[in-house]
Amino acid sequence: MALEPRLPLRQRAGYIFFLSVSAGIILTLFQWRGTSDTRWSFSKMVDGTAERPFVYRTLLPTTVRIFSFICPKGIQSSIATDVDQSGALKLVFSNFGWEASAAYQHFVAAILMFICFVGFGHFATKLTLKACGLRDSLATRSLLATTLILGIFLFFNYDTNIYDPPQLFLFALSLYFLSVSKLWQFIISFALCCINKETAFLLIPIFAVTFYRHSTSRKYWGVLSALSGYYMLVRLSILYVFRFNQGQVSQDHLFRNIFLLLSISLSSPISIWIVPIALCIYRWSEKPDFYKVAFICLVPPLVVVGTLFGNLDEWRIFYEAYPIVFGMALHSLLQLKGNFGLKPAA
C-alpha cells in the first residue's frame, strides 16, 4: 500500500495505526453481524456449494480454498483442535457463528477481509482528498479513513457477506486508478473485481467517459473492447462452473421494491438517502468532473439493478457508490460551512 511520500515516516506509521484499528473494529462488527442463512453460509461459499447467485461472488471464497489446499491438513486440524480446547476462542467462534472445524479457513478469510477494509479506507481517503482539495496531513487522512471505514457499519442493516469487503476495496481501488488515469493498474483491479461481483460492469462506462478524450486512438477502443470481452468471459465462465448449484441466476424482488417505493415516507428506510443525494447534487457544476461521471454511472444503475434484483432497503447493494457519495457529500458540507478557500480538484 503506497503512501504519499510527503507524509513523514512517523506520520505514515500513525496513519497505518488508525487504519488498522478502524479496520479491526469494522471487521469485528462485520463478523458479528454475519449471515444466518445456511444457503450461502461461509463453508458453502468456500467449498463452492452455496446457492446461486451468491456462489457467483467467488474471489475471496476461492482464495481461501486455495490457501486451504496449500496448507497441510495436519496444521489445519491442529488449529481446529486448539480452538476447540480454548474457552476464549470457542466464545469468539460462537458469537461470530464460526465453525471450529473450519478454523483455519475462518482465520484466512478474516485476514483477507481485514486487508480489504484497510485498502478500502486508504484508497477511498485518497479519492476524497482529491475531490475536496483538502490539505494532506496525518490528522486529515486519519479522520477521513476512520470515518469511511467505520461508516461501513451503516450498511449492516441486513446480513453481511464474505464478498462485501473485497468489493468495497476493489471498487474503491478501481475508481482511484481511473481518477488519476493509471490505466494498467485499473485494468488489474477491474480484472479482480469482475471475479468478485457482477456489478464490476459499472466500471466500464466510467472508464469509457473518463478516457473519452482518447476516443480517436485505437488503444482506447481496444481497451474498451477488452474490458467488455473480459467481463463477459468471466461471467459466463462463472455461470458455467456453478450451473448445477441450487438457486437461480438472479433474484427477483421487483414487486417488493415497488411496494416499498409506493409506501415511501420520511420515516421509511429508503428516505435516508434523500440527504446524501441532495448533498451530492448541491452546486453540481462545481463538483469534480470525475465524481460527476462516477455518480451518474453508479447511482442510477445501482437503483435500477437494486429494484429488479435486490432489496432497495438493503444498503449494502450501494457499496460501489459509497466512496463517491461520501466525497461529494463532504465537498458540499465544506462549502455549506463557508470554507471559501476550498479548491475542488479538476
Least confident of 26-40, 69-83, 95-109: 26-40
Asked if residue 3 belongs to a domain, the reply is: no
Asked if residue 188 belongs to a domain, the reply is: yes
Asked if residue 227 belongs to a domain, the reply is: yes
Asked if residue 288 belongs to a domain, the reply is: yes
Asked if residue 346 belongs to a domain, the reply is: no
| Adjacent-strand bridge partners of 95 | none
User: pLDDT-based confidence at 124, cuts 50/70/90?
Assistant: very high
Assess whether the previous peptide bond of 205 is cis (omega < 30° from 0). no
User: pLDDT-based confidence at 245, cuts 50/70/90?
Assistant: very high
Residue 121, domain extent: 9-336
Residues 6 or more apart whose Cβ sits within 8 Å of residue 323: 120, 123, 124, 127, 128, 148, 171, 172, 175
Asked if residue 236 belongs to a domain, the reply is: yes
How many CB atoms are located within 10 Å of the residue 325 CB? 20
What does the DSSP 8-state code read for residue 201? G
Model pTM score: 0.91
Give how many domains the chain has, as a whole number. 1
Q: What is the mean pLDDT of the chain?
A: 89
Q: At what angle do helices 289-309 and 254-262 cross, to 10 degrees?
A: 110
Q: What is the pLDDT of residues 265-309, one digit of tens each?
A: 655 666 677 888 899 999 899 999 999 999 999 999 999 998 888
Asked if residue 2 belongs to a domain, the reply is: no
Whether the per-residue pLDDT at 327 is higher than 60: the answer is yes
Whether the per-residue pLDDT at 345 is higher than 60: the answer is no
Residue listed under C-alpha cell 415516507 = 265
Asked if residue 216 belongs to a domain, the reply is: yes
Whether the per-residue pLDDT at 1 is higher than 90: the answer is no
pLDDT at 344: 43
